[in-house]
Amino acid sequence: MITGVFSMRLWTPVGVLTSLAYCLHQRRGALAELQGADGQRPVDRSLLKLKMVQVVFRHGARSPLKPLPLEEQGGMFAGQLTKVGMQQMFALGERLRKNYVEDIPFLSPTFNPEEVFIRSTNIFRNLESTRCLLAGLFQCQKEGPVIIHTDVADSEVLYPNYQNCWSLRQRTRGRRKTASLQPGISEDLKRVKEGMGIDSSDEVDFFILLDNVAAEQEKTGSCSFHGS
């Protein structure tokens, strides 16, 4: 479930920063070297001009949304961007800088608010992720104010919004309870909780367990972005 998305839009030259668009750009560039519009003649790439780039991505590594009972958070609050998450976002910014500042002179090396439009959900870990990415992309150099555009929670569309979508609420109502009633699930969960020393009365399900495991793996760099 995506709960945080960041996007950038470049106005001069027109463009926007999404990992998906970036991949498509590379793929199309490779195909352009092999064939033309008719599928036969090769295309002269010197005649092509990049007009727009979009990058949509999630936040970096975070702490669990609901820590397991008796588990120490190390002074962090639930869902907080970790040091590893900050480093991930900064590194992503550096990769984008290499692609669109150094290899292709599409962006100015210094942040220019006339070139870039930034959008994020109003969640602290996502705002922090955005700032870290921008720091890597522009190396903390700027020509104007860095404005991160957000929306109020009631009308946010960048994550599944249960507050303003009746259909979404209906479709997802009781899904956790339904999942826990699947054959063997409740028995497996009971055994796992016993093995971990978690009291049977504690409200811990496999979703919470998975979130905590993923967060712990991030500390060692053994998996990529996760969570909501």
Give the pLDDT mean for 64-92: 88
Domain final residue, candidates 153, 186, 217:
153
Q: What is the pTM of this model?
A: 0.71
Task: Tell me the C-alpha distance between 40 and 37, whole Å.
Answer: 8
State both tokens at 32: 């352009």
More confident residue, 30 or 162: 162
Domain final residue, candidates 88, 120, 153:
153
CB atoms within 10 A of CB 11: 14
Residues 98 and 148 in one domain: yes
Q: Are 122 and 157 in contact (CB under 8 A)?
A: no
Report how far apart the first and last C-alpha atoms of the chain are (Å, whole number).
Answer: 6
Residues 57 and 132 in one domain: yes
* 16 part of a folded domain: no
Query: What's the confidence (pLDDT) of residue 47?
Result: 83
Task: Tell me the C-alpha distance between 183 and 80, whole Å.
Answer: 35
Residues 90 and 111 in one domain: yes
Domain final residue, candidates 104, 128, 153:
153
Residues 166 and 97 in one domain: no
More confident residue, 171 or 27: 171
Residues 149 and 168 in one domain: no
Residues 58 and 141 in one domain: yes
For residue 98, give its domain range: 51-153
Task: Tell me the C-alpha distance between 173 and 162, whole Å.
Answer: 10
**Mean of all residue pLDDT scores within the chain:** 79
Range of lowest pLDDT (42-51, 67-76, 130-139, 155-164) = 67-76
| CA separation, residue 140 to residues 85, 110, 112 (Å) | 18, 8, 12
SS3 49: coil
Give the pLDDT mean for 96-118: 94
* 30 part of a folded domain: no
Give the pLDDT mean for 185-213: 85
Length of the chain in terms of residues written: 228
CB atoms within 10 A of CB 29: 14
H helix intervals, the chain: 19-34, 83-97, 124-138, 166-172, 175-180, 185-196, 206-219
Query: What's the confidence (pLDDT) of residue 198?
Result: 87
* 39 part of a folded domain: no
Residues 115 and 95 in one domain: yes
Query: What's the confidence (pLDDT) of residue 173?
Result: 82
Please determine, for residue 23, whether its predicted confidence score (pLDDT) is greater than 60. no
Give the pLDDT mean for 3-20: 40
* 149 part of a folded domain: yes
Residues 142 and 190 in one domain: no
Residues 136 and 171 in one domain: no
* 89 part of a folded domain: yes
Residues 138 and 170 in one domain: no
* 28 part of a folded domain: no
More confident residue, 69 or 110: 110
- The number of distinct structural domains making up the chain is 2
pLDDT (tens digit per residue) in 79-98: 999 999 999 999 999 999 99
Residues 133 and 178 in one domain: no
Query: What's the confidence (pLDDT) of residue 11?
Result: 39
* 133 part of a folded domain: yes
More confident residue, 70 or 217: 217
Residues 136 and 55 in one domain: yes
* 64 part of a folded domain: yes
Please determine, for residue 186, whether its predicted confidence score (pLDDT) is greater than 70. yes
Range of lowest pLDDT (23-37, 84-98, 125-139) = 23-37
pLDDT cut 90: percent of the chain above it: 36
Give the pLDDT mean for 199-219: 85
